[in-house]
Structure 1
């Protein structure tokens, strides 16, 4: 999450250049070092934004002669996290030769098709649209970034005047121009006519800076941004932010409660055809904006920087609300009409601005949703994109804050915005996106997720593209499982919350947290469990009740809350119970456990009946003798079952293997495979079913 200051007094950027370290690096490595440093601070440029380059003398692989090679960030990369393979490499003389082919802006898209012909050393990294902006500047080292402070100036009505005031002749100014070959020619002309300039502000876009060494270029970029930060702080000090407060922020608990209530409803309304995932942000900068007097004036203007706009759409959807006088019950009925109105407005925007060759209209739903007093919600096809869209809109908020306190903020003209959004080159990039995984866009919640079957299930579902919430009563094991899953699949798609499934209030809180984390729910895997063994006369009431509390009441509580969430979304869903063959077949000395497991199966059947009209499927996976990694087999249960079979504990797994019809052991991953079948569309026409994963146990046959 961005660490955005709550006032106009923004701290200056730190100079992180380590000359001693840089001296140990090759030229390409120094370019990467410079890039990663700049991309490490979101005030300089956000994820995927900006680009960097170096012009490096290298041996031609064909002739062996030294040639100038342009190393520049390739298409779709992120300067903060990229590696050396993220740079495109081009013969500089061949890139310059393309200028002879260029006859005007009508050739913009055609020029992109020629860039591969300039590739050095068969580098497969695709070139970005900004390549000529770097290639035609004479400086050997060039940075292009999108700093909030600079864009605040670039997006103001007095952009050119303020640029002169802040930097004098050191940094020049160019009017708005969509990135491409023509803008590259503009930059070339500017550099030729202003040989002492150290950079240029692009109106409504960002900052270009350059230098004669990597270190000089980096320090010039940081120094130029710091001048803007200091100037804005000086000019805006003491002025009310966004015209002052209109709707004060609710307390943190209320904000999260409102978000968790509205996100599933919004998600259901906008997930026709493609499931969306949500992200909630209530940091101070967001609350300043959504609760301000100027919200209604500024929000419709949208963003200015093209990188911001591509991720946040033409404008956000503002959902009027005042937590001081209203409740979420007042807000919920407003959602559907507001979303429908936004869609209609977006369709009208498309019709006004479309070109003869424009791609078909894309998803007409908003990406950014602003709620006064509560915060910002963003939705996209995956969690990372939703989060990044929110980060970009925070950048836009910071830009509007700066621009509107020293001048007047201006967004991109509507036609320009449309031409960027529906740029044929962007459409081609979308068409090259890989096919989504089978559970992409879905949210799964797994109880008992810290080990054994639960952890294996979480891995299986996350591996198929789902966002996964794991929960467990064992907080130590939960933390270990959370870290392992996040390392394997990324922090964006994994969340972990402690829960005691026998306590109603903690179960209710769990589902609120899941909704706030990802926007809703699609899959519930009810897996939390225990096991016990005792003759009936030795079964205490406490032991009986503990089995019922966890295995019966616990399954009821999580299912009830899942039903509420799934019905609020109105997009169906899948609930999978991890029961046991003991729910079908009685075992001596385990009456409490068998009875509780049988109740799970009967509950699943009841829920299958109730869920069917809403597209909610409920199925059961019955394991048997899953010893490896299972927490229930690490305690008394293992010893008790070993005693029942008259073997030592080490021999118990072999007893179960030999007892099975297939003479195979059953592992957590086998159960996870059964869960995946019921969770995925593979079983879209199955509900009320039981799948035995037990290596064959004839008494457990369901028919």
Structure 2
């Protein structure tokens, strides 16, 4: 086949010849490169979906003879990020020999175990269920992808006829079959019956394409997808509208975000009735076109078609009946409207499970929705962590694109409920879930940290993130925030400029937390400054700024956090970073010491009031955190040095010598103190933990 076209409208052509040439004739590297650029375009395949492979001739280490080895994405991988450690090396001839022992559909699970007997490379990732789909075909390079346009064709009524209409005799078609050895045999037979075809459409599933080289395979995939996309867009133009046209209009963008921030903590609480969840929000044009349409009511209950879709989104979404202009300020009233919808969804899911389950089916999983649709506002998703919930959201957008295309072609068809159940509760899928690593102590929690642009605040955010939390970094310095945010991997953090002396600025930071993650579970007030002056030198400005940042800031942060935590009904933690100076009197410290003492007593008052809400409020008292602390960069260090009759350079050693353990205290030590309160001491509230190396005059009890 000739593949010379490099201009595409509906997919991204990302092949860089210079980069590809750098791999020379290394076919595995070229296959990995092809995989990565295919996975970079979510219209071509969704996260974790699809599979790619190549063949090479290698020396058999046992016989020293040349053997064909297939290199293929391993189980649980993602082609967009695939590297050498994520692939399996398989003896092709041994895999084909498994046809001699295959016992039919009831034998599928056993066959997966036999793939391990075909491994050539002992460092291989576990072979995936797609292995025979590639191995029973004869081509050097193969792509199995889940493009929205192709799944639209595959999920359309009369899919086989549509395939012929688009590609004529150049493409094969096989009906829906659950991935496994039998599907591999069907694909093999399709090729035997249709020699010379360039690819195969899998009913309700996806696409297979191939080529003699990695580049030919890549171009073949892009061209096939482009042809399907062009066909769909032509049908949409002929039809004049999609999804039956618009039923309601979207709210303006800012109003949508405001509504999302208001309702997400309520939705998060309801979705967390069995396990705490993290949220994600989307209001793209694709989403809004679908959720505002006349056909939403018909299409949403049908569920998704591609297995990768409903494995991550559940069989169908929950569609809210709230009016887009609903006043969401009365949380109790809104909750009363939402609860019946959630109860009905859970019951429907239980009915689905009980109707379809088999004797050996795994126990029913969380019955809460993953995808929630609010017409006029947007689409929410909730799952165990940010990556999972974001990907679920992306998968449902893929499903929207599939429905859009299939409806334009003929009509959208979804998998029968039993087929969907057999995939969702497949024992092999359950085994994958059981192999997942144990969750970290703060997994599924969202922490907002003030003063997180550096120093103690950044150390606290680092520790909470390292223990599994999502973190919302806040500070008044945007450059510091951007730099701090850049130190985390994707889906871990977000940031918001926040002046803790300004109530609206605090509200904006919490809004960011709600939209990005669904709410907040932990708040750490670490922002601050220190002023060391004698009484006669302390000005009203000094007094007011300390009170506003440390005391009023703490009050506003706690007040607004409590409102969100009460919506979620999941409890929470509030931590004040105070100081030994709130307990111990000393010279040149009246404004700072008074503010810190006020913080400490406010913690006790809040703990007494919020215990009924399972919101725990505690204090961490640092002292002498000189190395790495932003407070000690300016006049405070000079003031403390003067008060103690030493130089600034002598401060670290001086403070270390004066504590009982003779230890220098660092920001990481304070972060460990915070973690102990939010991650270990889950029955502690109203307490003070001193992280100061031991200061006898600051002992609390």
- Tell me, yes or no, whether TM beats 0.5: yes
Corresponding residue for residue 195 of structure 2? 195
- In structure 2, the residue matched to 1:645 is 644
RMSD over aligned CA atoms reads 1.3
Distance (Å, rounded) in 2 between the aligned partners of 1:702 and 1:688: 12
Match of 1:363 in 2: 366
Aligned to 1:79: 79
Preserved contact between residue 51 and residue 79 of structure 2 (Cα < 8 Å): yes
- Residue 411 of structure 1 corresponds to 414
Secondary structure, aligned partner of 1:31: helix
Give the 3-state SS of the residue equivalent to 2:208 in structure 1: strand
The SS at the match of 2:618 is: strand
Corresponding residue for residue 694 of structure 1: 692
1:237 aligns with 2:237: yes
Give matches, 1:103-114, under 5 Å: 103-114=103-114
CA gap 1:408/1:608 in 2 versus in 1, 3 angstroms: same
1:374 is aligned to 377
- Alignment partner, residue 559 of structure 1: 558
1:364-513 matches, within 5 Å, as 364-484=367-487, 486=488, 490-513=489-512
Deviation sequence 1:425-484 (CA, Å, 0-9, x none): 000111111111111111111111111111111111100010011101122211211112
Asked if the contact 1:69–1:91 (Cα under 8 Å) also holds between the matched residues in 2, the reply is yes
Distance between the aligned counterparts of 2:648 and 2:635, measured in 1? 11
TM-score (norm 1): 0.96
How much does 1:325 deviate? Answer: 6.3
The DSSP-based 3-state class of the residue aligned with 1:445 is strand
1: CA distance between counterparts of 2:655 and 2:22? 61
* Aligned counterparts, 1:255-294, within 5 A: 255-294=256-295
Q: Is contact 2:445–2:522 with CA below 8 Å preserved after alignment?
A: yes
Query: Given that residues 89 and 124 in structure 2 are in contact (C-alpha distance below 8 angstroms), is that contact kept between their aligned partners in structure 1?
Result: no
Give the match for residue 597 of structure 1.
Answer: 596
Question: What is the deviation of 1:621?
Answer: 0.6
Match of 1:5 in 2: none
Distance 1:572 1:322 in 2: 29
CA shift, 1:72, in A, is: 1.1
Shift of 1:666: 0.8
CA distance in 2, matches of 1:52, 1:477: 41
Flag the 1:694–1:388 CA change in 2: closer, same or farther, 3 A: same
Q: Is the 8 A contact 2:85 2:124 kept in 1?
A: no
- CA distance 1:325–1:619, shift in 2 (3 Å): closer
Larger mean Cα displacement after TM superposition, 668-677 or 152-161: 152-161
Would you say 1:631 and 2:634 are equivalent positions? no
Q: C-alpha deviations, 1:199-258, integer Å up to 9, x for none?
A: 111111111111222221111110000001111111211622211111211111111111
Which residue of the partner structure matches residue 303 of structure 1?
304
Gaps of 5+ in 2: 1-7
Unaligned runs of 5+ in 1: 1-9
Bigger shift: residues 379-388 or 113-122: 113-122
Aligned to 1:7: none
CA contact (8 A) 1:138 1:191 kept: no
**Post-superposition shift, 1:286?**
0.5
Measure the CA separation in 1 of the matches of 2:582 and 2:54.
Answer: 67
1:328 shift after superposition = 5.9
Shift of 1:500: 0.5
Query: Which residue number corresponds to residue 549 of structure 2?
Result: 550
TM-score after normalising by structure 2: 0.96
Gap change, CA 1:21 and 1:578, over 3 Å in 2: closer
User: Are 2:348 and 1:350 equivalent residues in the alignment?
Assistant: no
Compute the displacement of 1:651 (Å): 1.1
Q: Answer whether contact 1:171 1:197 (CA < 8 A) is retained.
A: yes
| 1:523 to 2:526 alignment | no
| Alignment check: 8 A CA contact 2:87 2:124 kept | no
Q: CA deviation at 1:586?
A: 1.3
Paired with 1:227 and 1:177, the residues of 2 have a C-alpha distance of: 24
* More moved, 431-440 vs 328-337: 328-337
Alignment of 1:30-109 (within 5 A): 30-109=30-109
- 2:322 corresponding residue in structure 1: 321
Report the CA distance shift for 1:224/1:480 in structure 2 as closer, same or farther (over 3 A).
same
User: For each residue in 1:112-132, what CA deviation from the matched residue of structure 2 results, as whole angstroms up to 9, or x when unmatched?
Assistant: 111101110323310110110
Matches within 5 A, 1:114-193: 114-193=114-193
CA contact under 8 A between 2:199 and 2:210: conserved in structure 1?
A: yes
Query: Retained in 2: the 8 A contact 1:211–1:217?
Result: yes
> Are the aligned partners of 2:88 and 2:121 in contact in 1 as well (CA < 8 Å)?
no
